[in-house]
Amino acid sequence: MRKIFLNLFLLPLAVISLASCTYEKMLEKFTPKEEAQYAENFLESVRENNYEEVYNQLHPSAKSQLTEEKFNEIYNYLPTENLLSKKIIGSQTSTINDEWSGLFTFEYSFENSKWLLAQASVIRQNASLSVTSFYFQVTDKSLKEVYKFTLRGKQVKHYLILLLAIINPLISIFTLIVCIRTPKMKRKVLWCILILIGIMILKINWTTGELSLNPLYFSLLSAGVTTSPYSPWIISISLPIGVIAFWIKRLISSKHKQETPNEEKLGNTTREGE
């Protein structure tokens, strides 16, 4: 039994680790190559201080916002150290009213432990591409380092939610097994479904500690986690209402069974006295 619970505890962590390892492969597979290359070339033009090239690639709605003075401010903000590496770390695309758009995120590594986060929003209109907006942020760490999972320096709320995110699925699975093995139980299938569901989702951003509550949502096994190498861990818990209801029902049924034999025994004693 101890081994089973240990495996149940390690299984979510193994799944998360596998998902993190394959993130880059999935990103490479689903990122549109032409549009991503267009965004990368645009950002390189900014880094190369090529104002004319950048201006020509901007969407008409964005050209009025980029003066030469503003462009020089952006260029002077960028690291001047030698570039060590560059890779795409994010790709989001959508199509609304036959208009395609995409947001591409790149991470640059420079000497002297400097990092640069760069984004470009690309739009396709009449078979031509243009950039509607772009963004740069200089950091001292890679996003992988910023968002890595660690227990150091966390608050009580972090540990409490993490503990419940581990306990809730274990209790749900244990209760499900008890429910399945309970003989002559009415509506057993419905109870099994209810046991697996938690209501009201409380989420915590593991990096910032920000909490958010979604009272109208539900989750499987009353817990969840989402992450990627370049985004924060979001750990969530729910109220295991099905589990709570099952054990209340079981407790009531157990008391009822204990009281029934006593009543029968009392009745028999009374009849014998008569």
At 112 the pLDDT is 85
Q: Can you tell me the mean pLDDT for 145-165?
A: 93
Q: Can you tell me the mean pLDDT for 235-249?
A: 95
Whole-number percent of the chain with pLDDT over 70: 86
Q: Can you tell me the mean pLDDT for 46-70?
A: 94
C-alpha 189/C-alpha 168 separation (Å) is 20
Cα 188 to the chain's mean position, in Å?
Answer: 32
C-alpha 214/C-alpha 43 separation (Å) is 38
Asked whether residue 15 carries a pLDDT value surpassing 60, the answer given is: no
Asked whether residue 237 carries a pLDDT value surpassing 70, the answer given is: yes
Asked whether residue 54 carries a pLDDT value surpassing 90, the answer given is: yes
Structure tokens given for 35: 């549009």
Q: Can you tell me the mean pLDDT for 248-257?
A: 83
Q: Can you tell me the mean pLDDT for 152-178?
A: 95
Each residue of 71-125: pLDDT tens digit?
999 999 999 899 999 999 999 999 988 889 999 999 999 998 899 999 999 999 8
Task: Give the neighbor-by-neighbor strand order of the sheet with 114-125.
Answer: 83-96, 99-110, 114-125, 128-139
Asked whether residue 5 carries a pLDDT value surpassing 50, the answer given is: no
Q: Return the amino acid letter for 60.
A: P
At 185 the pLDDT is 86
Give the list of residues 6+ apart from residue 111 with CB closer than 8 angstroms, or none.
Answer: 81, 82, 84
Q: What is the dihedral of CA 79, 80, 85, 90, to 10 degrees?
A: 30
Structure tokens given for 64: 């009025």
Q: Where is average pLDDT lowest: 50-59, 101-110, 164-173, 255-264?
A: 255-264
Asked whether residue 272 carries a pLDDT value surpassing 70, the answer given is: no
pLDDT band for position 259 (cuts 50, 70, 90):
low
Q: What are the CA-CA distances from residue 110 to residues 33, 77, 85, 113, 148 (Å)?
A: 25, 14, 7, 6, 20
Q: Please, are residues 91 and 107 in contact by the beta-carbon 8 Å criterion?
A: no
More confident residue, 230 or 272: 230
Site of tokens 């001292």:
140
Mean pLDDT, all residues of the chain: 87
Q: Can you tell me the mean pLDDT for 169-190?
A: 93
C-alpha 53/C-alpha 34 separation (Å) is 18
The continuous run of DSSP H or E covering 6 comes out as helix 2-21
At 1 the pLDDT is 46
